[in-house]
Amino acid sequence: MILCKAHAMSELHWVEQRDLNRPLLIIALKGLFDAAEAATAGVDLLIAKHDAFQVAEIDSETFFNFQEERPFVRLGVDGREIEWPSNVIWGAECGNGNHDLLLLSGIEPHLKWRTFSDALLDVAQKMNVEMVITIGAMAGMAPHTRPLGVVGSASDPAVADRLGLGRPTYEGPTGLVGVLHDHLDKEGIPIISLRVSVPHYVPGPPNPEATRSLLSRLELVTGTETFHADLEKAANEWRDRIHTAVANDADMASYVQQLEQRVDESEILPSGDDLAAELEAFLRDKRAD
């Protein structure tokens, strides 16, 4: 294990390590758990709105099969440039909030997931991260006519009980996010998951409504501004376009009505305004311990 961590550290290139205020690490990765690229779009918005600075980068050479995730060739001022798949950790100073942020909007690696998880563990430890939050999106039985539900879960019973989150029940093939949760749990770093359900009949990006729902719930959980209101206009326009298409198809319209009847069965996060306060109480107790 020591050798693995040493190797992971060699893949992690630090750029700027500022002292951040009780940072939370928010992670979204394109791949299996980013339907319609809703989660990475949300973190991209946070990076832009907070005028984030680059903290570190995880070297892509070790973790990607470039025949599957090919680099891009671009014509720059100085000629041809190669743009490689990138996993950059950004820092955001959030002013008067309870927490600053570390942000990763990247790509799920193909190889060496344990080594990749070690690199993120190193970031969390060196930057004194108080909690890691992975956000994602999955195609599901969600109708576009209603707010898209966000499910929250935590493997740690203390975290799940304190924040009113579910416990993972899935068994089967997993992705990097599942490996990361297991790894950080065992290292004693609190980690939770937020996942939005994207209508399976509208799987393509962009999906501003799914991104808005994720950011809204993230703000409720953390108390940190996520600028989700900036997406209201785009989300309404997206919903109107889908509604027009569905209305012209009687079978699809009937199917959406069936989904509407089932949507209330989904497990979602508690909606009380005191959820962020509960998170703060949990983190305060953990620091005291």
Residue 84 reports pLDDT greater than 90: no
Q: What is the pLDDT of residue 269?
A: 53
**Residue 165 or 61, more confident:** 61
β-partners of residue 168 are none
Rounded Cα gap, residues 54 and 65, in angstroms? 25
The H or E element containing residue 121 is helix 113-126
| Chain Cα centroid distance, residue 70 | 23
β-partners of residue 131 are 24
Residue with tokens 């309870």: 98
Which tens digit of pLDDT belongs to each residue from 266-280? Answer: 555 555 455 667 677
Identify the CATH number of the domain in which residue 257 sits.
3.40.50.10900
CA angle 72, 75, 80 (to 5 degrees): 80
Residue 8 reports pLDDT greater than 60: no
Mean predicted lDDT score pLDDT of the chain: 87
Neighbours of 256 (CB within 10 A): 20
Q: What is the pLDDT of residue 275?
A: 60
Residue-range definition of the domain harbouring residue 6 = 2-288
Q: What is the pLDDT of residue 4?
A: 47
Which among 81, 100, 84, 83 is positioned nearest to 92, based on CA atoms? 100
Which tens digit of pLDDT belongs to each residue from 100-157? Answer: 999 999 999 999 999 999 999 999 999 999 999 999 999 888 889 888 888 888 888 8
Averaged pLDDT, 60-79? 88
Measured in residues, the chain has a length of 289
Q: What is the pLDDT of residue 42?
A: 97
Which tens digit of pLDDT belongs to each residue from 155-171? Answer: 888 888 888 888 877 78
Q: Residue 1: which pLDDT band, with cuts at 50, 70 and 90?
A: very low
CB-based contact 115:7 (threshold 8 Å): yes
> Which CA distances in Å does 155 have to 39, 97, 118, 131?
21, 27, 19, 13
Residue 23 reports pLDDT greater than 50: yes
Which among 206, 207, 241, 219 is positioned nearest to 99, based on CA atoms? 219
Q: What percent of the chain has pLDDT over 70?
A: 91
Q: What is the pLDDT of residue 171?
A: 83
pTM of model > 0.85: yes
Quote the number of domains for the chain. Answer: 1
